[in-house]
Amino acid sequence: MIVYLDNIIFSLQPSGCECSRQWAIMIRHLLPIPDVKLRFIEYRNACDNDERSLLDLARRGHLYFMRNLWLTRYLAVRIDGYDGKPFIFHSSGYRICDNPWAVNIITVNDDFKPTYHRLMSLRRCDLITCTSRQVLSLLPADCKHKATIVSTKKSNKNIALFTLKAYRMAIRRHGNK
């Protein structure tokens, strides 16, 4: 399974922010899984975030750098290739991938505030992972059917299992479109 992780949260949030910490925990638990081929998309300043600087991503996955954070953070990410084979695009910053084979997943954290950009991204994605039931209750009614809870607060050992289960569910849904 090929998974692109959009690490934009490390560039947008300051060090010590709960959102960055939860995203880093998820990455730490996905890294050792051998059948998950991880690709990371981030900006050059991502390592300024303490949570990101503790991760050695270049050793385990492919690392792709983007430019111009303040413009591209609102645009769909372009990934070419993968004709006929779905792949996961999991964003920490309400972005989607415009490749038709991308299974778009967005993580919604506890600091969710509905904006036009965020709501449009949530409506276009295939699956929404929420960090708590409270966040789930804040989602628009037309998005709640594609939401699931992947909590990083209960048991760190289960994060990878819950995330993989969500990925497999999203790929199945994508195949039924």
DSSP character string of 80-140: ---TT--EEEEESSS--B--TTEEEEEEE-TT----HHHHHHHHH-SEEEESSHHHHHHS-
* Radius of gyration (C-alpha) of the chain in whole angstroms: 15
pLDDT in tens, 35-44: 889 999 998 8
Q: What's the CATH architecture for 2-175?
A: 3-Layer(aba) Sandwich (3.40)
* pLDDT for 154: 56
- Give the integer Cα–Cα distance in Å for 79 and 100: 10
User: Which tokens in the block code for residue 33?
Assistant: 């899984």
Q: Residue 155 pLDDT > 70, yes or no? A: no
User: For position 19, what pLDDT does the model report?
Assistant: 86
pLDDT > 90 in the chain, percent: 38
What backbone phi and psi angles, to 5 degrees, belong to 29? -85, -20
Where in the chain are the domains? Answer: 2-175
Q: What is the pLDDT of residues 26-36, one digit of tens each?
A: 898 888 888 88
CA distance 73 to 167: 23
Q: Cβ–Cβ contacts within 10 Å for residue 160, how many? A: 20
Query: How confident is the model at residue 72, as a pLDDT?
Result: 84
For residue 40, the model assigns a pLDDT of: 94
State yes or no: pLDDT of 149 exceeds 90.
Answer: no
d(CA 62, CA 40): 6
Report pLDDT digits (tens) over 95-110: 999 999 999 999 998 8
CA distance 150 to 129: 6
pTM: 0.89
> Measured between alpha carbons, how far is 44 from 22 in angstroms, rounded to an integer?
20
Residue 170 confidence (pLDDT): 81
Going from the C-alpha of 116 to that of each of 3, 27, 48, 82, 148, the distances in angstroms are 27, 28, 28, 30, 22
**pLDDT at site 157:** 59
User: Which tens digits make up the pLDDT trace of 68-92?
Assistant: 787 788 889 999 877 778 999 999 9
Summarize the confidence of residues 51-61 as an average pLDDT: 84
